[in-house]
Every structure is written in structure tokens, then in C-alpha cells.
Amino acid sequence: MLSFKLPNRFCGRAMLGVAMVLGVAIVAGAAEPSVPYVPTPQEVVERMLEIAKVGPQDYLIDLGSGDGRIVVTAAKKFGARGFGVDLNPVRIKESVENAAKAGVSDRVAFHQRNLFEADLSDATVITMYLLPRVNLLLRPKLLDLKPGTRVVSHDFSMDDWKPDAFVEMEVKEKYGNAGGDSSIYFWIVPARVIGSWQWQLTVGGKPLAYEVTLEQKYQMISGTVRVGASSVTLQDARLRGDQISFSFSADVNGSLLEHRFSGRVTGNTIEGMATIAGSRSQRQLEWNAIRGAKTGQI
């Protein structure tokens, strides 16, 4: 059999082409399809769910759920619960039938609804096979979800919100049997950490005040710390969902101390652990930081 591989750019353009031919409207809130129906090949569905580490604790929502395959597979193979939304009543009927055939009707639901109006607040995982413009219209809503919520998109990115993971795979069943590549983009919704964070630690028997000022672009963070007379740049600053960590070296009362902090962000507080090491000793301390007034858009 003759097989050939289409570059992913072609696959993306093919879907965009279908959108143009069908004249689908890309308008948030429009009660007409924003995206044509093109099913995700089953092997890509499974890879998407593996990348997102979907499991029995998860509640998955597929935006534009087609014949329900992502939600049904998440329930049957990965033990999750969830729902799908689609504007097309034929797709909803197929999804309900597919859920029944798979024996997962008690754990999934399908709603004939505009995806822009779906309540996403219960989601721990969002899946999408939409279009770049639609992804961008959804992006602010996704970034407002609970930190740690995972988002997986088949074939389309989120522009300058770079993915936390990206996988490209060759797929024989893409566009029927045409074959091609599928791209999988994976993000973790980051906590909002912009601003000044303060805390105190007892170091060398004396209370010491720290102030970190953080900048943020999506999950990318950077910042500086003021401690004693020192002001230094943070090293290895990382944010993954609500988990934050960074390190720095600073002169404290004449000694160079290595600092490493890691903790969990909840609103305007961080709780975690600090490790402080000098030339002869190392200590682990509880770390509780509070954010001051300044916050901002990520």
C-alpha cells in the first residue's frame, strides 16, 4: 500500500481549509459551529490522555466533543469522569450511544451547547481539537481555571502561551486514511504569582526579613530577592500549576548562604519548605510567604 506523510503544517492548513469551505464562524458566543467536525484519530486520543496523565481522580471536559471519543476513552480506559459539549445534535446522539456501548454512561454526559458558554469550573483536564483562533478566544478563560488544571490540544497551539510539553506523531488514520502528522500540545494552568512576597525566617538565631518580587509571563517566572543588605536575582525560578520553586545565594550577616525555596501557591499565600546552607551547616525550615498589594495580568 502506498503511504505518505503529510507535514503537520499541511494538516493544520487542511483543517483551516475545511473551516473556510464550510464558512464556519469563529466567533465566541455565536450559536453556529466555530470548527468543522474532524475526529481525532483514536491513537492520538489515547496519547493525549496519557500525556495529561488522566486517571480516576480526573474530571475531563472536551470542548467541541464530536462523537464523544475523547470523553468516552477517558472514562473507559483511564477511569475518569467528565462531559463533552457540541453544537451539533447528531454528534450528541452519537456520543450518548458510544458511551452506552462502552458501558460508561454513568460517568459521562454530553450537552448540546456552545463551547464558549460551557461551565469549566469542575474540570481538572480540558481537551480540544478546535482551531488556532478559537484556542486564542478560549485562552483567557483557560488561564482563569484552577491552577494545576491540565489543557491538551490536538494540532493547534495557544500562540505565545508556550506548551509545557509537545509531541508530534505520525498517524495513518489522519483525515480518514490520508495519513499525516498530529501535534499534541499540553499546558498546566499556572497560578498567578506576580507581585511582592514577604516572609521572615530565623537565621543564626535572629529574625531575617525576605522580600521577593516576581514577574510572570504564563508559566515563566523571574524575580529578585531583598534580604538584609543584599538584592539578588532568583535562580531556577519555576512554576508548575500551583507549585513554585527558586533558589539564590545571598550574603547574610557576612556569610554567603545558599537558599532554596519550594512551596504551594494558594491565592496570596505560599506554604512550603526552605533549605538554607552555609559552608558548615544546612537547615530545613517551614516557609510561609504572603503577597503584598501588587498583582497583575499574566
Ligand X SMILES: C[S@@+](CC[C@H](N)C(=O)[O-])C[C@H]1O[C@@H](n2cnc3c(N)ncnc32)[C@H](O)[C@@H]1O
Residues that bind ligand X (CB under 6 A): 33-35, 37-40, 62, 64-66, 69-70, 85-88, 91, 114-115, 129, 154
Q: Which is nearer to ligand X, 134 or 191 (CB)?
A: 134
CB of 284 to ligand X, least distance (A): 46
Q: How far apart are CA 113 and CA 106, in angstroms?
A: 20
Which helix (H) or strand (E) segment is 31 a member of? Answer: none
* Residue 18 CB, nearest approach to ligand X (Å): 9
Distance in Å, CB of 161 to ligand X, minimum: 20
Closest distance of CB 79 from ligand X, Å: 20
Residue nearest to ligand X (CB): 64
C-beta of 124 vs 153, nearer to ligand X: 153
Provide the terminal-to-terminal Cα distance of the chain, rounded to the nearest Å: 50
The dihedral through the CA atoms of 144, 146, 150, 152 has a sign that is negative
What per-residue string of b and e applies to 160-179 under the rule 16 or more CB within 10 Å gives b? ebebbeeeeeebebbbeeeb
d(CA 70, CA 43): 11
Query: Closer to ligand X at the Cβ: 70 or 265?
Result: 70
With respect to ligand X, which residue has the nearer C-beta, 40 or 219? 40
Residue 40: CB minimum distance to ligand X, A: 3
Of 37 and 186, the one with the shorter C-beta distance to ligand X is: 37
Q: Which is nearer to ligand X, 65 or 135 (by Cβ)?
A: 65
Residues 6+ apart with CB under 8 A from 273: 261, 262, 263, 284, 285, 286, 287
> What residue type is assigned to position 31 of the chain?
A
The distance of closest approach from Cβ of residue 9 to ligand X in the complex, given in angstroms and rounded to an integer, is 17
**What CA–CA distance (Å, rounded) separates 272 from 16?**
46
